Amino acid sequence: MNSINLMPEHSIAPYANEGLNRIYGLLFCDTIDLYKSETKPTGYPWDTLLSDNPDPNELTAITTDNTLETRQQLLAYNLLRAKGFPVHTKALLGVIIEVSLGDGLDVLAAYSDGTCRYINHIESLLVWDTQTEKTNQLVGQLFSDSLNVVKRIGPWDQARTTFPGEGMVKLTFLVSDGLYFGQGPFDVLQNDSMGGPVIDSATRLMTYLIDQRIASNKSTK
């Protein structure tokens, strides 16, 4: 790990499809080389984020610019911390739930701007970039339940750990001051006073997103 990259570009690969592994890595906003290989710096904020030596003042400005995507703000926060600049805020910006099934990994990622990504265990990708009243409500509930966890645990001060093994669930919280996570057997965390509400909220959001995709596919036939 160097001053810019928080994770090696190809360090964690849960899927047979290399393209999905790259998308999976992008979800966590902690691998700047991965973003460099996927993104052309066409101006603000990418010219700063993808710079070999980004200016800390410009990074700080990105973290407070709410016109930007949440993932861009997360990259800026992570780059600031990686360069040794302390982050004193504690804003929850992303929630990622990983459930390992017998035949693959289900991953749901939701961000504070209402965008979502879902990769299912059979390696199909769902991208949600549209804010609606319903999804805002579902994402809001997921973040409310997740904040209850973040307030009671501390940030992880090492490199991000790998995806969970079969029968396990991993809850990752992308916070401005670091990565927070919890992991354990699915049936245990589902009944946990902190983890259970997060899993329930994530399940409702995932179900709604899948239903919307099914409805959209039917309408185009």
**Alpha carbon 15 to chain centroid distance?**
17
Range 197-221 average pLDDT:
91
For 159-178, how does the pLDDT look when each residue is reduced to its tens digit (9 = 90+)? 899 999 999 999 999 999 99
Query: And the tokens for 11?
Result: 């360090």
Say what the pLDDT of residue 11 is: 73
Which stretch of 28-42, 147-161, 190-204 has the lowest confidence by average pLDDT? 28-42
Range 108-129 average pLDDT:
97
Percent of the chain with pLDDT over 70: 94
Q: Please give the tally of structural domains in the chain.
A: 2
Percent of the chain with pLDDT over 90: 81
Domain range for 125: 92-219
Is residue 96, in this structure, part of any structural domain at all? yes
Say what the pLDDT of residue 119 is: 98
22 and 48, same domain (yes or no): yes
206 and 117, same domain (yes or no): yes
| 5: pLDDT strictly greater than 70 | no
pTM over 0.95: no
- Please write down the long-range contacts of 48-57, taking CB distance under 8 Å and 24 or more positions apart: 48/76, 49/75, 49/76, 49/79, 52/4, 54/79, 54/83, 56/80, 56/83, 56/85
Q: Which residue has the higher pLDDT, 35 or 136?
A: 136
126 and 54, same domain (yes or no): no
pLDDT band at 4 (very low <50, low <70, confident <90, very high): very low
Is residue 175, in this structure, part of any structural domain at all? yes
pLDDT band at 39 (very low <50, low <70, confident <90, very high): confident
Domain boundary residue, one of 82, 104, 124: 82
156 and 209, same domain (yes or no): yes
pLDDT band at 219 (very low <50, low <70, confident <90, very high): confident
| 116: pLDDT strictly greater than 90 | yes
Is residue 3, in this structure, part of any structural domain at all? no
d(CA 111, CA 10): 23
d(CA 34, CA 23): 9
98 and 55, same domain (yes or no): no
Is residue 154, in this structure, part of any structural domain at all? yes
d(CA 103, CA 87): 39
105 and 197, same domain (yes or no): yes
Is residue 6, in this structure, part of any structural domain at all? no
